């Protein structure tokens, strides 16, 4: 996916996010994010949008201040929008040679990185909002997500987040996870051990220790720990340790 496609995905996720929380009880639990209610979900998302905008624009900010604003906002929808719109504008106006920090393994150039990261950040949290509206973990058919976006999001998690030193997915002995989307050429092999995981694009088959199969969207939700639609023996280790957290 290119920057324009990521921006389209970001806008779509924002619309879906707003729709899901429009009539929500702010105290409703978020099944895909244990310990959060809808207000905490929106406060987190609005904080990330404001922090990302500041980073793209080269400004120093305190993210905790933004999150505190969200927790006391009287109109959560408006507050979410007030953080999202400047983010989209910042990405649209940023130069192709944008020079600001990025934080994932093997990251693309900064403008492409931030467009991709905020597309999937917002899509996954819109899925959280959908889960709150449904009262359960969503399945692929509940979502609006297309296969291209899903495959791109799987790749970001497996090749960007998991290989980082701070990744918590470790195994005492070598173990392999194959992620094999139905009807797609893309596939990944994640090898774990006592060091950070290693992800290989274009590899992986039924001989892996853990084999994950499903539609691209179902696998996207599964590897991001947002759905129980896809499972396999040994995948519980992933569910426990391959989590992306704010820190």
Q: Does residue 247 fall inside a structural domain? A: no
Separation in Å, CA 138 to CA 128, 153, 210, 223: 8, 17, 23, 14
CATH number of the domain encompassing residue 128: 1.20.120.450
Instruction: Please state which of the ranges 18-32, 53-67, 99-113, 115-129 shows the lowest mean pLDDT.
Output: 18-32
Domain that residue 44 falls in:
3-138
CATH number of the domain encompassing residue 212: 3.30.1050.10
Backbone angles phi, psi at 44, to 5 degrees: -65, -50
* Distance between CA atoms of residues 140 and 146, nearest Å: 10
Q: Is the dihedral of CA 199, 205, 210, 211 positive or negative?
A: positive
Q: Say what the alpha-carbon torsion angle 33, 39, 45, 46 is, to the nearest 10 degrees.
A: -170
Q: Based on the fold, state whether residues 14 and 34 are members of the same structural domain.
A: yes
245: confidence class by pLDDT, cuts 50, 70, 90: confident
Of 90, 111, 138, at which residue does a domain stop? Answer: 138
CB 7 within 8 A of CB 87: no
The tens digit of pLDDT for each residue in 5-35 reads: 999 999 999 999 999 998 788 899 999 999 9
Site of tokens 């934080």: 103
Backbone angles phi, psi at 103, to 5 degrees: -140, 10
- Give Cβ neighbours of residue 236 (< 8 Å, ≥ 6 apart): none
What share of the chain has pLDDT > 70, as a percent? Answer: 100
Which residues does residue 177 pair with via DSSP β-bridges, in sequence order?
190, 210
The tens digit of pLDDT for each residue in 181-208 reads: 999 999 999 999 999 999 999 999 999 9
* Distance between CA atoms of residues 78 and 196, nearest Å: 40
Q: Based on the fold, state whether residues 161 and 91 are members of the same structural domain.
A: no
CB 176 within 8 A of CB 235: no
Of 92, 115, 138, at which residue does a domain stop? Answer: 138
**Confidence (pTM):** 0.96
Q: Does residue 246 fall inside a structural domain? A: no
Q: Does residue 207 fall inside a structural domain? A: yes
The distance of Cα 119 from the centroid of its chain, to the nearest Å, equals: 8
* Distance between CA atoms of residues 71 and 34, nearest Å: 17
Spatial CA neighbour of 214 closest among 175, 242, 179 = 179
Alpha helices (H) along the chain: 3-21, 38-56, 63-72, 76-93, 110-134, 147-155, 216-223, 235-241
What share of the chain has pLDDT > 90, as a percent? Answer: 90
As a residue count, the chain comes to: 247
Q: Based on the fold, state whether residues 42 and 71 are members of the same structural domain.
A: yes
Question: What domain count does the chain have?
Answer: 2
The tens digit of pLDDT for each residue in 145-182 reads: 999 999 999 999 999 999 999 999 999 999 999 999 99
What is the structure's pLDDT at 126?
A: 97
Spatial CA neighbour of 143 closest among 227, 40, 209, 206 = 227
């Amino acid at each position: 996916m290119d920057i324009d496609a990521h921006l389209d995905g970001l806008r779509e996720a924002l619309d879906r996010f707003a729709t899901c929380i429009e009539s929500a009880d702010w105290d409703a639990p978020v099944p895909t994010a244990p310990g959060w209610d809808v207000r905490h979900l929106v406060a987190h998302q609005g904080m990330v949008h404001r922090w990302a905008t500041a980073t793209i624009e080269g400004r120093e900010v305190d993210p905790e201040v933004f999150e505190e604003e969200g927790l006391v906002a009287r109109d959560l929808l408006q507050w979410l929008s007030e953080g999202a719109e400047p983010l989209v504008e910042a990405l649209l106006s940023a130069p192709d040679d944008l020079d600001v920090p990025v934080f994932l393994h093997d990251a693309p150039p900064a403008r492409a990185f931030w467009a991709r990261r905020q597309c999937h950040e917002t899509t996954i949290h819109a899925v959280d909002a959908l889960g709150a509206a449904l009262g359960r973990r969503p399945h692929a058919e509940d979502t609006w997500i297309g296969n291209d976006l899903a495959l791109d999001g799987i790749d970001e998690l497996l090749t960007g987040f998991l290989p980082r030193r701070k990744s918590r997915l470790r195994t005492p002995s070598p173990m392999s996870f194959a992620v094999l989307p139905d009807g797609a050429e893309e596939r990944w092999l994640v090898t774990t051990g006592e060091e950070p995981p290693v992800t290989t694009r274009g590899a992986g088959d039924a001989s892996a220790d853990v084999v994950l199969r499903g539609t691209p969207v179902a696998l996207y939700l599964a590897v991001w720990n947002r759905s129980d639609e896809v499972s396999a023996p040994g995948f519980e280790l992933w569910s426990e340790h391959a989590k992306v957290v704010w820190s």
